[in-house]
A and B are shown apart, each in its own frame.
Chain A
C-alpha cells in the first residue's frame, strides 16, 4: 500500500511537530469545556461544552495513536494506532446517541417549564 500522506504538504508532520503540541491543544480545549460547564446556565450551552470536552479527549486518543509512547505500543505501532482510532469511533457514536437523548430531555424540560436555567432545575433536591 502506498503511504497516503506523501502527496500532501504535511507529509512530514510526525518529524516536525512534537506530541506535546497536540496534547496542549487538547488540554486547553478540555479546560475551557470544564469551565464552561460550571459557568454557563443555559442547558444547551452546557451541553455544547460537554461536547467540547469529548472532542478534546478524542484528540488526545488520536495523538497518542499517532505517536505511540509505551514500550508495548512501540513494539507494534500500527496496532496501537488502530486501537486509538477505534476508541474515537466509538466515542463519536456514543456522543451522537447522547446528543439525541440529551436534546430530547432539554426539549422536554423547556416544554414543561417554558424557560430553562440549570440553576433552577432543583426540584429533585432533597
Chain B
C-alpha cells in the first residue's frame, strides 16, 4: 500500500459517504451537504488524475456555486419535510436496488475488471494545466464553446422567465 493508494482510498471513502448521504439522509439540507462533501472530494480526485484546472473548476462551480444555489432554494422553499426518508420495505426501493445491482455487477464484470491491471501509461503530464486547456478550448473547440455560451445565455433567460412569471 503506497501513499498514493492510501490517499485515493481515503478520498473515495469520503466521496462515497457523500454519495450515500445524498440518497439516504432524510432532510434535504443534509443531502445537500453530503453532496458538497462528494463534489469537494471529487475535485481532489481530479487533482490526482492530473487535471488541475478541472478539479478546481469542479470545486468552484459545483461545490461553490451550484450547491449554494441548491441550499438557497431549499431554504426559500422551506422544504424540510422529514417524510421523504426512503422506506426500506417499499416496493420501488427493492426493485430499484435490484436493477441497480444487476447493472452494477454487469458493468463491473465486463468493463471494469479488465482495466483493474491497467497502470503505468507514460506520457506528458502537463495536459491539465490552464494553458493547455485554454489553447485547445479556443482553437480546436471554439465552435462548441460558442454554442455552449449560447446555451448558457438561453438558460439565464429561461430561468429569469420562470422566476418572473406569475402562475
Residues of A at the B interface (CB closer than 8 Å) are 1-5, 9-10, 12-25, 27-29, 31-36, 38-42, 44-45, 47-49, 51-52, 55, 58-59, 62-63, 65-69, 74, 77-78, 81-82, 85-86, 88-90, 92-101, 103-108, 110-112, 116
CA separation between A89 and B129, bound complex, in Å? Answer: 13
Query: B39 to chain A: which residues have CB within 8 Å?
Result: 55
Query: A18 to chain B: which residues have CB within 8 Å?
Result: 115-119
Residues of B at the A interface (CB closer than 8 Å) are 2-5, 7-8, 12, 15-16, 19-20, 22-23, 28, 31-32, 35, 38-39, 42, 45-54, 57-58, 61-62, 65-66, 69-70, 73-74, 76-77, 79, 81, 84, 86, 90, 92-93, 96-97, 100, 103-104, 107-108, 111-113, 115-129, 132-133, 136-137, 141, 144, 148, 151-152, 154-156, 158-159, 161-163, 165, 167
CA separation between A55 and B15, bound complex, in Å? Answer: 11
Query: A65 to chain B: which residues have CB within 8 Å?
Result: 49, 51, 127
Q: Which of B65, B93, B96, B167 contacts A111 (CB 8 A)?
A: B167
Contact B3 A9 (CB under 8 A): yes
Contact B119 A92 (CB under 8 A): no
Q: Which of A35, A42, A63 contacts B49 (CB 8 A)?
A: A63
Contact A110 B123 (CB under 8 A): no
Query: A86 to chain B: which residues have CB within 8 Å?
Result: 133, 136-137, 141, 144
CA separation between A74 and B112, bound complex, in Å? Answer: 19
- A101-B118 CB under 8 A given contacts A44-B73, A52-B38, A94-B151: no
Contact A28 B16 (CB under 8 A): yes
